[in-house]
Structures are given as structure tokens and as C-alpha cells.
Amino acid sequence: MDSPLTSKVAKLGEDLRKSSELQVNDYKKRFDTVKGMYDDFLKDLIIQGFNSEKSYEFALKFFGSPKIEFVAIDGTEYAKEIFDLVIFFGGAYACTGEIEFHPEISPVVTYREKVLQEGQGISSCVPLYINEVPEVDQTLFQEKEGELALGKSLKDEEIIDNSQISNAIMHFAEYFLAYSIVMKNKDVKLILMDRTLSGDQAGLVGKTSKSGKNWQEWKSRCSLLGYKFKGREITPRMFDYGRYRIYNKILNLPPPRADYLRYRILCLIEEKGKINLDEIVKELKIQNRKERVKKILEKLELLGFIEEHNGFYELKNELKDSWDLLKELVLEVGKRIFEENNLRIEKDGKEHWLTTLDLSFLTLFCLYALIEECWKRGILLIGLTKDTAAKDFKRHFIPICQNNNIISSHISQESLALIPNTDRMFLQSVSLLNYEKIDPPWVLVEYDSAFKTLVPSDEGLEFVRGAIRNKISPEKFFLKSYIQLVKAETDPKLRSNVLAIDRLAYEVDIRRETLFTFKNMYGRFVEPVEVIIYKNKDVENPVQNLVLAVLSSMCESNVPEMFGHNKPLFIADKIAKWHVRLVKNMIEAMGRWIMNNPELRDFIFYMTTFRYRRSEIERFRRS
């Protein structure tokens, strides 16, 4: 006779089966909806194949040589509890090689031999007592200093499971390794990362956003503030300015609008040395917002960023050359973490743990420093991600561009709601259902990554707003696309996954036919939002043609788990996993050493947590 518990399990299984059937049927309906969309409008937005001659010519122009070195970087993390300690590990590893462009054939890629022995990588392994974890991981705290977040348990396992320390170390390691390599090797002209570049920039800005007056939250949670470095003290104003200190006049960054306007003004003052109000609005072409600029200048002076003399504004001495100082700080602290394995700094005669907030600042500054080098030296920076849940192409890009007649599509909101939930699944479905018309490698036309935060506005068809609290990411910073690289030789329907590409924007992307301006109502001001869009496959895009040529040449179909993926990133991932296995073995060996140490035997029982003892007993019982 079945017990009530068995009946409940059986009912749960039946409910799960029915729910799964509904999901499968729903996806079938969605697939049927997208089949005709290729002929309707996607045929104009999908570029099939690349031109080898044009990629060769552009490589000569952009890189200065037909033969360049590349680096692909991937990271790894690990955390393990041992008795009263938690070991946090984070690192990044690189696959390196060369790529040579030819006018008549695809680029030829060669890889460094003995990559494990001679490859480049950095890592840090930090042991912390459980009670020290909240001191380092500031995500466990509320706004007031030392106050654990409400709703978060004080149990050891909750603190360990929710800690972001190893992830923060890994994140910093990836960008620090990329920056270190390009600073040491002037021949590196291509960087591939398994990251969403625009998402990282937005996420790091969000993690470092301040609250309260006079930067009190930063002061209480950021150990680097007040740190004496190169004869100067690191201050909150330096960090505040550094969060948006990514200056490129041709790309118009930071954009002179919304919250970014104050930082663009600071960049302009830094460049000019001294400048008055009329010159600022003329330089930024915002004469219609002169009164607002005046108020921003008054606020900046009140906050101690600038000073005014006879109508001319200049940076306070505290901020002069502060960006160069922050870049040096990144290198100094990065070496301390990854070469000396030290997550502490000495400040005011005492040792302080670097916190996850410190690491977020360092990662953001490192990303900006890397981007500066890429712009300065013609280095192509590409982020390539496999499993993305992004929906901005179907939810944001298509409706906005359709409203403004940028793309020749006439899809109703009802039809958009019926297509697969993510952009990746949408485009994979289109490729599969139109396999006779779409031949990999293919790539979607590029559009501004700012579309991830743009949605249509009720103010009018030409108006847009930020999806959350009217916040719009900086435009003309990164460009986004999707790519599918291979199909099976035996079955044309068997195709690789669609990958998301996020690359840095360059001056070559700024052309009359690629710039489109929308309007955003910011307070009582109507401000322009100028984005980059390659509106169809006929608009020449030399960078994207080069990217498609490079990624196609780095694809290998013979290895099943590499089917349609990037080989250098695949190798970097394997190197990272190999190293983390070594670290796991070392940590487990250390645990066994402690367990078998006769001097500690009497204390072992009290050093271990209840959860650890229970899991060990259950493991022995099963074996």
C-alpha cells in the first residue's frame, strides 16, 4: 500500500511532466512564429561570410601589420571551508598565439606550444577565519558601518555560501592580467575575453555607487581611501571622478548628458587646465543647457572638485593627475594581491583587509586603463559569451528602430511577445528554420550596447528613456552583436550555438551613416542620445568584417565540446580548470594535514563546524 508521501511524490512527478509538456508546446509555437521573420526583415540584418581581402586591408590599417599577437583570457574561482577557515581562490589564465591575415585566404592562427608550462596566469589564494569574511565581503552589510544586512543569516554556512570574495578576486584578475600583458608586450593587438564588457562596466559602476553624504559609505567600507601612495592620499573625490574617467572626445565620452555631464565637464577642465562657462558649453555643444552647466559647476565647487578664479574653473590640486595615480595604484595593489598573495594594506600604522568594494573599484579602473591602451595603440578588445539570457535585441532594439524607420520591420508587439524569450534562442531558431537560406558563419549587424538600457518612451516615437529610473548606459562605448560560426558537414540543420559579442567602439565607427539621435526627457531638459547603429548589412563595417574573419579562423569543429566556440578561450578555460584542480587538491591536502597533526588532535572536534562534521560522517557511511 502506497504511503501518503509516495502519493505526493507521484503527483509531483505527474505535475512536472505536464508542466514540461506545456513548456515544450509553447516553444514549438514560438518557433513557428519566427520562421518567416528572416524574409520579413532579418535578411537585411544578418551578414553571411566575410571578405578576406577587406579584412587584410583593414588589419594593415588598424593594427599596422598583417601579423599580430593575440591573447585570450578566462578566469576561475573556488571557495572551500576547512574547520574555522575559509579558503578563497581566484585567478585568470591566458592562451596566447599569433594570427596572420592574407588577402586571398582566411587568417592563419598559430598557438604557443607548451601553453601550460609557458602560459601566462595570475591567481591569489586568501585564507580567512569565518568571522573575518564579513569584514572583507561588504555585500553582506547594510548602509551603516558594521551592520549586517537584515534578512541575511549570521550562520557560518550562510556567510560562506553568499560570499563574493573569490568572484571579486577572479574578476579583478581577468582585467589585471589583460592590462599587464598589453603593458609588457607591445605586439599584442587582439584581446579576447569570456566576459560581457558593457555589462561589466555597468555592473562595476553599480557596485561602486555611493549613498549618504560626503561618501560616508565608501569611507566605512573601502580600505583604500586614506591610503598613502606615492606621497599622496587616496581620497573619495579621486574615486568618484575615476568611476567615469573614460575620456574620448571623438566618441563623445563621457556623454554630455544626464548624470554623466558633471564628469564630462571635469574631463574637459582637466584637459584645458582652465576654462570658463561659455567655453565649456561651446566645446560640448550644449549652449541650450548653459544654466544647468552653471549649476553643475557650482555644485562641483561646493563638493571640492574644482575652484573658480575670475570666471575660470580649474581642478583642485587633489584631483590633478589623479587618474595617472589611480592607474599606478591598480598596478601596485594588483602585484600585491597576485604576486605576494596579500590582500592587506597598511594604513595609519595598522593592517587593513582590502574589501570587495576595493576590488570593484580596482577592477573598474583597470578596465578603463585597458580601454585607454586599446584606443591609443589600436588593440581590438572583444568580449565573447556563450550562454546569455539577454533580450535587448527583440525587446529594445527592434521596437525603437521600427518606430523611427531605421530598420524595415513591421512587427507587432503581439508577434514580438510570441518569439523565443532570449535573443540567443530567437536567432538560433531563425537560423535553424531557415537553414537553406542562412549559411554560417554569419553575424548580426552591430548596434550600440546602450540599447540594453533603452526602451521606447510615451513622449513620442523619437523619444527613449532608461529602462530603470531613466538611467541610460553611456552610448558609443561598446557595440553588440550575435554570431553563429559553424554547421555540421553531415547535417545542415545541426548548427553551433549563437554567441554574444561585445566589443569596444572605435573612432572608425563614427560616421554619418552610423549615427542616430534619439531624445530623452531628463528632468525638464530634452537631451540627445546619439547611438551607433549599423542599420543593415549594406552599411560597411570594417571592424565587424575583421572580427568575423578572426573568430571564424579560431573555430574548430573536430572537437565536440568546442563545436562553434572560440578555441583560444576554450584553451584558456582548460588552463584555468587545470589550475583550480591543483588548488583543490592542495587545499584538501592541507585539511588532511591538520586532521592528522598530533598537536591539533585535541582541538579538531571544536575547530570543525557541525555541517562539516555531519557531511564527513555521511560521506564515510556511504563509502
The predicted-structure confidence for 221-254, as pLDDT tens digits, reads as follows 999 999 999 999 999 999 999 999 999 999 999 9
Given the C-alpha cell 548653459, which residue does it identify? Answer: 290
Q: Are residues 321 and 425 in the same domain?
A: no
Q: Which domain holds residue 491?
A: 388-565
Grid cell locating 327: 592607474
Closest to 182 measured CA to CA, from 374, 27, 411, 462: 374
Q: Are residues 556 and 495 in the same domain?
A: yes
Which residues is 526 bridged to in the sheet? 521
Total number of domains constituting the chain: 2
Q: Are residues 550 and 459 in the same domain?
A: yes
**Does residue 146 belong to any structural domain of this protein?**
yes
Domain boundary among 380, 398, 420: 380
Q: Are residues 299 and 438 in the same domain?
A: no
CA distance linking residue 48 with residue 39, whole number of Å: 15
Domain boundary among 355, 380, 405: 380
**Does residue 237 belong to any structural domain of this protein?**
yes
Grid cell locating 441: 558563419
**Does residue 494 belong to any structural domain of this protein?**
yes
Grid cell locating 70: 593575440
Residue 151 has a pLDDT of 44
**Does residue 225 belong to any structural domain of this protein?**
yes
Q: Are residues 334 and 397 in the same domain?
A: no
Q: Are residues 344 and 454 in the same domain?
A: no
Q: Are residues 340 and 244 in the same domain?
A: yes
**Does residue 33 belong to any structural domain of this protein?**
no
Enumerate residues 6+ apart whose C-beta is below 8 A from 299: 262
3-state secondary structure of 380: strand
All residue ranges of the chain with pLDDT < 70 are 1-3, 5, 27, 29-30, 114-119, 139-162, 211-212, 595, 599-613, 615-616, 620, 623
Q: What is the DSSP string of 295-322?
A: HHHHHHHHTTSEEEETTEEEE-TTTTTH
Grid cell locating 267: 574631463
Q: What is the DSSP string of 30-77?
A: HHHHHTTHHHHTGGGTEEES--HHHHHHHHHHHHSSSEEEEEEEEEEE
Residue 118 has a pLDDT of 57
Q: Are residues 374 and 324 in the same domain?
A: yes
Looking only at Cα atoms, what is the longest distance across the chain? 94
Closest to 188 measured CA to CA, from 56, 108, 53, 95: 95
**Does residue 571 belong to any structural domain of this protein?**
no
Cβ atoms 25, 423 nearer than 8 A: no
**Does residue 42 belong to any structural domain of this protein?**
no
Residue 145 has a pLDDT of 45
CA distance linking residue 7 with residue 12, whole number of Å: 9
Cis check for the bond before 441: say yes or no (omega within 30 of 0).
Answer: yes
Residue 143 has a pLDDT of 45
Q: Are residues 367 and 497 in the same domain?
A: no
3-state secondary structure of 256: coil
3-state secondary structure of 349: coil
Domain boundary among 380, 408, 442: 380
Residue 116 has a pLDDT of 55
Q: Are residues 286 and 333 in the same domain?
A: yes
Q: Are residues 176 and 203 in the same domain?
A: yes
Q: Are residues 251 and 298 in the same domain?
A: yes
Residue 58 has a pLDDT of 98
What pTM does this model have? 0.91
**Does residue 208 belong to any structural domain of this protein?**
yes
